[in-house]
Each structure stands twice: as structure tokens, then as C-alpha cells.
Amino acid sequence: MTPRLRMGVVGTGSLGFHHARILRDVEGVEMVGIHDRRAERAAEVAAELGVVAHPTLEALLDQADAIVVAVPTTAHEAVAVAALARGIHTLIEKPMAPDLAAADRILEVAEARGAVVQIGHVERFNSAIRAAEPWLDRPLFVESHRMAPFTPRSTDVAVVLDLMIHDVDLVSSLIGGAVTDIAASGVPVLTPNVDIANARLTFETGAVANLTASRVSMERMRKIRIFQPSGYLSLNLADGTGEFLRLKQGIPALGGGDLPSIPAEGLAALVERIELKGDGAEPLRKELENFRTAARGEAPPAVSGRAGREALALTLSIEARIRDHVPDPSPS
């Protein structure tokens, strides 16, 4: 039998709490505890979840084969490097690091010690995305909207690093290939940093992605639309559902001077609607199961450290374009 992977969580804020909650019953994992520099918070979470609160990071690392880093972004490097230097596999919440230099230092230590680095771009595991995968076929235009009401959380960074980075990673994985052009704009509304932003990315394939993110919206929205030669996908990431619309088989595309008459029932007679509904599994659980598999060496992580670094580079380029409001021909 494969021994259970000993895993712990560093940082027990909102997201870290849920990592710890889920890890208690992930198959093949032994949850060895948590650490938070705020002793009162650690004690509170430990009591609620029935896990061990370690007084220091080192005490947790002494017990772990793998950890989740869910501390503020500015502390990602220090915690990740401490773990990776011991050869401990590490899942780092997004964004991977505050800057590319820190990301590169994390990757250098991981590669030197042969440890797995996975980045927490959890939307890759969204039920709607997984249900859409069989229907994806050379996307040409992708449009995403990620809107949220204002909260004080993460206002120390612009909305691009806070929210848009989810969709930067997602559309990059859906389209594939390098980004050749970036145009972006954004404005601060309630904070000194940009609170609402839009970015247009052009890929070497010719595909275009239009991304909008806001943390000052009146209502929540997490939707993505994908246009491709075979049809149109509309996905609701908030509830993990969607639909694929395509021309019914056997019906020629409309065009030219001799158009067929439109049936009384209208577009429904010409277009096939395929409902997309995932298995309803919690995306964070799927992400942690993937990390467990990667840490065991059974498969590569869905979002590697290199992929996380690429998403960060692209997001930082978008942020720079907002500051400068000029196109960037090539993200670093």
C-alpha cells in the first residue's frame, strides 16, 4: 500500500481554512496540522476543525511531506522556500509571488531539490471548465467577466492581481500559445489601486481574449464565453454549469443569395443546445487531489510552477499597460 502523504497548511485565513477543512478527508492524505503566525486564529481553526496547530513553521515542516501556502502574497517566497529547501512539495496560492524575481527564486530552489511546485489557479478545476473540455476546438475569441462587490480583502494590490489573474491563467490554458499583444485600461474607484480593469490579449494563434474584472460591482458574476469554429460555449463559473450551442448536423450554414426560410420556431430549429454540467465536485477538493497525485510523482501538476510564473508575468504586463496605457508587444 502507498503510505499516506503527510500534508499541512500554512496560513488559516478564509482560503487556508478551506484547504485545511478539505485535507482532513482527502483519500491518501494524512492532515498533520496548520500554522498561522496569529496564534489566536490558529487555535480557533484548530478547535473548529479538530487539527493540530503548530507553534512555528518549522514545527509543521518537521511533520510534512507536502504543504499548502495560503499566506499573504508578500510572504509566499519565504514560506515556500523554507519548505522547498527541505524537499517538501508545495502548493502555493495564486498569485505565485509578488514579482517575477521572487517567482524565479522559488522555482530555482524547487528544481534544485526536486520538489513539486503547484500554483493554486483553482478555476482550472471548475466543473463548468471540465464539462466544456470535450467540446473545445481552437477558440478564436474568449470573453470573461469576473465581478465582485467590494470587500477590504486584498485591496493592497490592484484588481488585476487580485481577481483578473484567474482568467489570465484560464484563457491562456484554453487558447494556448504565446501572447503577442496586450492593451489594457483600468481605474481606482474606492482604493488607491485599480479596482476595475479591462484587458485585451492577442495570441500568436490569432485568437483574442477580452477580460474584465471588478471588485466594486453591485453583484457577483463569474462568466466566460468561448467562440470557436464549431460553435459557442457559455459557462457560468459561479455555479459550474454552461451550454454549448452549435449548428445542427445536416443543416448547411446560412449564407449567399439563396437563404433557406427560417422555421416558425426560429433559431431553435437550426441550433443544437448541449447542456454542460459537471459532477458538482468542489473545485478546491479537485485541486488538492491533483496536488496529492503530483506530490506522489504519479502525474504532473495541472498548474506547474512554470505555468504559474507565466500567468504572473502576463498579469504584471497587464498591470504595467494600465499604468502606462500603451500596448505591450511581448510580456516578459
Domains, the chain, ranges and CATH? Answer: 5-122+283-303 (3.40.50.720), 124-279+313-324 (3.30.360.10)
Residue 265 has pLDDT above 80, yes or no: no
Note whether 100 and 51 are within 8 A (CB).
no
Q: In this predicted structure, what is the pLDDT of residue 227?
A: 98
CB-based contacts of 242: which residues, under 8 Å, 6+ apart?
128, 131, 132, 233, 234, 235, 236, 276, 277
Note whether 106 and 78 are within 8 A (CB).
no
pLDDT in tens, 174-199: 999 999 999 999 999 988 889 999 99
Residue 1 has pLDDT above 70, yes or no: no
Residue 254 has pLDDT above 90, yes or no: no
SS3 annotation, 139-182: CCEEEEEEECCCCCCCCCCCHHHHHHHHHHHHHHHHHCCCEEEE
Q: pTM of this prediction?
A: 0.90
CA distance 304 to 168: 15
pLDDT-based confidence at residue 263 (cuts at 50, 70, 90): low
CA distance 115 to 146: 33
Tell me the pairing of strands 5-10 and 66-69: parallel
Q: In this predicted structure, what is the pLDDT of residue 129?
A: 96
Of 30-34, 49-53, 55-59, 262-266, the range with the lowest mean pLDDT is 262-266
Mean per-residue pLDDT of the chain: 92
pLDDT-based confidence at residue 125 (cuts at 50, 70, 90): very high
Question: 278 versus 223: which is more confidently predicted?
Answer: 223
Q: In this predicted structure, what is the pLDDT of residue 191?
A: 87
pLDDT-based confidence at residue 317 (cuts at 50, 70, 90): very high
Half-sphere exposure of 212 (CA within 13 A, CB side): 13
Burial (CB < 10 A; 0-12, 13-18, 19+), residue 68, is buried
- Percentage, residues of the chain above pLDDT 90: 82
Q: In this predicted structure, what is the pLDDT of residue 255?
A: 57
pLDDT in tens, 39-96: 999 999 999 999 999 999 999 999 999 999 999 999 999 999 999 999 999 999 999 9
pLDDT in tens, 101-116: 999 999 999 999 999 9
CA distance 197 to 217: 12
